[in-house]
Structure 1
Amino acid sequence: MFIHHGSLRELYRVAEQMEQTLIDLRLMPRTIVAPGYWMFGPREVNTNSTNEPLIKALMISGFYPNIAASFDAKMMRTLHANKATMSNQSINSINKIGGRPRGSVYTFSELSKQQGGLYMCRNTTAVSPLMVMLFGQSLKRASPTILDVDGWLQFRHDDTQHTETILKLKDSIDIVLANAFGELQKEHGEDRYLHHDPVRNKLVDLMGSLFAVDEKSYVDYLIEQAKLPQPVQPKRKNRKKGGYNKR
């Protein structure tokens, strides 16, 4: 694997711009950089910067509505495409992982149309159903055991108490996020920033721990699913050119 030095410098420049924007908007204080400190912003806002499952969940919100779910080893569905695949160069492509278990879920940056009505998902990231349910736009109960995300993607859990817990957690996250956006419009003193809210911090810590456990559990589940025999698709009868057999 090769890393382009120019690309790294560009990423660093964009990160610096984002940091300055957050400081200008008074969302976080300016940081006095100490020797050996490589993060952007103070340590208080970097508590979960290495929590990959939480970052993946936030990417779902950032790339919304770009969510894809597999229905066999090769094909996926999205909100706007019934047949979608991935670039062969993607780390999640079937060429890299040797087949995709049914039920795998991904977020992606863009969807491009290919020949034959096929679509391609670019810059994909594997996520878990719980991440999708909590960071999709809408979550509704389709039945006592089925939760519906954004009107097209459904997840089933036989324990109705668990589905009710997920719905309540989704409502709590939406309320906290709405309050956070409301705080962006208010004037704060020099010693008061968004990360000083104890309720918000506690919820973020909870989600960070929850997604870490959930992702591991879901990966283990997909590994077991991949070991199961795949359903055999019925073969089509061969026909001669013209669509009929000459007698």
Structure 2
Amino acid sequence: GGDESNRNSDNIPLLKAVITAGLYPNIIVADLSKKVPKLSTRAGEVFLHPACLDATQEASLDSKMLVYHEMVKTAKVYVRDATTISPYALLLFGGAIKVQHRSSRITVDGWLGLDAAPKTAVLVKQLREHLDRMLLRKIDNPNEKMSELDTRVVSSIALLLETEPAPAKGANAAPPGGAAKSDVKPGDWPCPQCGHNVFASKRECFKCGFRK
């Protein structure tokens, strides 16, 4: 309890990875080459629900991968409670991964593909395999202490997760400072920690958790 339990409470990338592990396979892929990104799941095209926080900043998503909590169908197929995630969160806490050496890609569950040099893809796969074995051991024996190798693997994973992808380049990319200029309204403030635009009515940055 106490401080130890909350040690990573402000580590947003790690929290997103935990959410990814809990909500997988609820994954959305965004086509960021379009002015308004096209969102797709394995079942087909979806739309962010108007009540979803990211729906107001859909044109400036900082990753082509999102995870969502709920899907509903009304006039359109909507997803709720969606947030962008790092590709590393998907690779390390999502489905089964396979390295495609010839095409320099790594796939998740046979449908989600990411470009990756073969050497990098193999290293990520080995990291994932070690993590899976380590988690199984902890489930079987919760009191077992981590080895030095386990500790190094966990540290490496934490470092990877903290390496957030840069905003996509193109018409829908956000300029330095967070949101597109047209999205900035009087009273909005730039987060001094991550640079994202925060609505005037909010005292906390929804992206990194910084409190004004």
Give TM-score, length-normalised by structure 2.
Answer: 0.69
Give me the whole-angstrom Cα distance separating, in 2, the residues matched to 1:206 and 1:113: 40
Query: In the alignment, is residue 169 of structure 1 matched against residue 119 of structure 2?
Result: no
- Tell me: CA distance 1:180–1:69, structure 2 relative to 1, closer, same or farther (3 Å): same
Select the residue among 154, 166, 185 that pairs with 2:113.
154
* In 1, Cα distance between equivalents of 2:5 and 2:90: 24
- SS of 2:54 mapped into structure 1: coil
User: Is 2:67–2:85's contact at 8 Å kept on the other side of the alignment?
Assistant: yes
Larger Rg: 1
Q: Alpha-carbon deviation of 1:221?
A: 4.0
Q: For the aligned residues, what is the CA RMSD?
A: 2.4
2:52 aligned residue: 90
Structure of higher RCO (CA pairs closer than 8 Å, 6+ residues apart): 2
Q: Distance in 2 between matches of 1:212 and 1:167?
A: 18
Aligned to 1:28: none
Q: Which one has the bigger strand percentage?
A: 2
Once the two structures are overlaid, the 10-residue window that deviates more, 175-184 or 118-127, is 175-184
**8 Å Cα contact 2:60/2:172 also seen in 1:** no
Q: Does 1:114 align with 2:77?
A: no
SS at match of 1:69: strand
Pick one of 14, 30, 48 that aligns with 2:8: 48
CA distance in 2, matches of 1:181, 1:98: 39
Q: 1:122 to 1:43 in 2, by over 3 A?
A: same
Instruction: For residue 101 of structure 1, report the CA deviation from its aligned partner.
Output: 5.9
Q: Give the TM-score taking structure 1 as reference length.
A: 0.60
3-state SS of the aligned residue for 2:71? strand
In 2, the alpha carbon distance for the partners of 1:110 and 1:227 equals: 25
Q: Which runs of 5+ in 1 are unaligned?
A: 1-40, 185-192, 229-247
1:173 & 1:102 partners in 2: Cα distance?
Answer: 27
Is 1:205 aligned with 2:155? yes
Shift of the 143–100 alpha-carbon distance from structure 1 to 2, 3 Å rule, reads farther
Distance 1:109 1:57 in 2: 14
**SS where residue 83 of structure 1 aligns?**
strand
Q: Is the 8 A contact 1:74 1:85 kept in 2?
A: no
- Share of identical aligned residues, percent? 23
Change (3 A) 1:100 1:227: closer
Q: Is the 1:54–1:207 contact (alpha carbons within 8 Å) kept by the matching residues of 2?
A: no
Change beyond 3 A, Cα 1:133–1:227: same
Task: Point out where structure 2 has 5 or more consecutive residues left out of the alignment.
Answer: 174-212
Residue 99 (1) aligns with residue 59 (2): yes
Give 1:133's aligned residue.
Answer: 91
Within 5 Å, which residues of 2 pair with 1:191-202? 193=143, 196-199=145-148, 200-202=150-152
User: How far does residue 98 in structure 1 lie from its aligned partner after superposition?
Assistant: 5.5
9, 33, 40: which is aligned to 1:77?
Answer: 40
Aligned length: 168
Aligned residue identity for 1:107: V
Name the CA shift for 1:50/1:98 in 2 (closer, same or farther; >3 Å). closer
Q: List per-residue Cα deviations over 1:30-56 (Å, max 9, x = no partner).
A: xxxxxxxxxxx1433433222110110
Which deviations, in whole Å up to 9, do the C-alpha atoms of 1:178-212 show, x marking residues without a partner?
1122124xxxxxxxx46x53555543333222211
CA distance in 2 between partners of 1:205 and 1:211 (Å): 10
AA paired with 2:108? V
User: Which residue in 2 is equivalent to 1:231?
Assistant: none
Rounded to whole Å, the distance in 1 between the matches of 2:13 and 2:62 is 21
